[in-house]
Amino acid sequence: MSDHAGHATSDLLDLARRIATTVAATALEERRRGIAVESTKSSPVDVVTAVDRETEARIRSLILDARPDDGIFGEEEDTHVGTSGLNWVVDPIDGTVNLLYDIPAWCVSIAVVDGPPDPLHWHALAGVVVNPVTGDVFEASRGGGARLGDQELHVNEDVELSKALIATGFSYSAERRRAQATTLLQVVPRIRDIRRIGSAALDLSAIALGRLDGFYERGLNPWDHAAGALVLREAGGRVGGVGGAPESSELLVAAAPSIFDELLSLVVDAGGATG
């Protein structure tokens, strides 16, 4: 870790919060005026809206105004390479399909990490996840705990896997969705129930709040989980991948500590890290 990790994470968190809440309010206004698909990305159902692109452009502008030497790694634009050793990992709208359908489960996710924009090699310093519709602002700083507004967050304790409420997500690729459905068939009988909310950042934050007990998904991008994973870890949760590795596109499993190992084994054994 570079010496930048020691500099005030509280300042980074304050900036991340200020930017996330500012752009979230504007994105909500734009949603209320109406929205349409602007283009698609990896498949015909992987949509991009003008709100995604405009929100990321605003986030980038606000970051660079405040910290011109930092890098920015986001979903909609090319990486901005910085010189400070810090990178902002940005998902302007996580849950774009929910946004499109006016389902109130989409968010702005902003994290700042020490190191490259790769979860295998970074150290997350601060993260904010804002749901503009509900007004929920989840936030965390490294070693500073996690909060929803003024409420300190902590995961559910003493959870049993058979009574655990688990969330997951699905790929935009039809072939991968088929494999994920096969995994799900083996997971569902072993747990209380499954939820598919449509935003990994909100799923991870929900575990921190105790609204969920666990989450797993294959194929996530770094911006999908950078902020949410920090919120969950600072709330006492565990996040990781296959064989003790950090979370990555190969697999992300997140859960209350009492069920993490068991959930990870279940998902891997069910083929959740392949296909």
Flag the least confident range among 47-51, 226-230, 247-251, 259-263: 47-51
Q: Would 183 be classed as within a structural domain? A: yes
Domain identity same for 12 and 40:
yes
Let me know if residue 274 belongs to a domain. Answer: no
Whether 212 and 206 have beta carbons less than 8 Å apart is answered as yes
pLDDT at residue number 1: 43
Which residue has 């090699």 as its token pair?
121
Q: Is residue 275 part of a domain?
A: no
Q: What are the φ and ψ backbone dihedral angles of 59, each rounded to 5 degrees? A: -60, -45
User: Euclidean distance between the first and final Cα of the chain, in Å?
Assistant: 33
Look up the pTM and report it: 0.94
Same domain, 143 and 231: no
Please give the sequence-ordered ranges of beta strands (E in DSSP) within 50-97, or none if there are none. Answer: 71-74, 86-94
Q: Are residues 114 and 210 in the same domain?
A: no
Q: How far is CA 82 from CA 43, 71, 73, in A?
A: 31, 4, 10
59 shares a domain with 181: no
Are 148 and 169 contained in the same domain?
no
Q: Tell whether residue 269 is among the known ligand binding residues.
A: no
What are 88-145's pLDDT values in tens digits? 999 999 999 999 999 999 999 999 999 999 999 999 999 999 999 999 999 999 999 9
Domain of 176?
Answer: 161-269
Question: Per the annotation, does 93 bind a ligand?
Answer: yes
Please state the rounded mean pLDDT for residues 236-254.
96
- Give the rounded percent of residues in the chain with a pLDDT score beyond 70: 96
What's residue 172's pLDDT?
A: 87
In this prediction, residue 7 carries a pLDDT of 55
If asked whether residues 14 and 136 sit together in one domain, one would say yes
166 annotated as ligand-binding: no
181 domain residue, yes or no: yes
Last residue of a domain, one of 96, 127, 152: 152
Min mean pLDDT across 49-63, 152-166, 251-265 is at: 49-63
131 and 204 co-located in one domain: no
Distance (Å, whole) CA 225 – CA 27: 20
Mean pLDDT of 57-84: 94
pLDDT of residue 35: 79
Is the pLDDT confidence value at 182 over 50?
Answer: yes
Does 170 share its domain with 129? no
Ligand-binding site membership of 78 (annotated): no
Q: Helices H, strands E: what count in the chain?
A: 7, 14
Answer whether 34's CB lies under 8 Å from 51's CB.
Answer: no
State the CATH number of the domain containing residue 262. 3.40.190.80
Residue after which a domain boundary falls, among 152, 173, 190? 152
| Contact (CB, 8 A) for 2 and 115 | yes
Domain end, chosen from 101, 124, 152, is at 152
| Same-domain check for residues 181 and 67 | no
The pLDDT of residue 34 is above 90: no
CA distances from 132 to 19, 144, 208 (A): 13, 24, 18
Per DSSP, the three-state class of 46 is coil
- 249 within a domain of the structure (yes/no): yes
- Alpha-carbon gap, residue 1 to 119, rounded angstroms: 13
Q: What is the mean pLDDT of the chain?
A: 93
Predicted pLDDT at 46: 67
Q: Is 197 annotated as a binding residue?
A: no
CA–CA gap between residue 89 and residue 146 (Å, rounded): 18
Total structural domains within the chain: 2
Per-residue exposure over 17-37, b if at least 16 CB sit within 10 Å of its own CB, e if not: bebbbebbeebbebbeeebee
Would you tell me the crossing angle of helices 174-187 and 257-269 to the nearest 10 degrees?
120
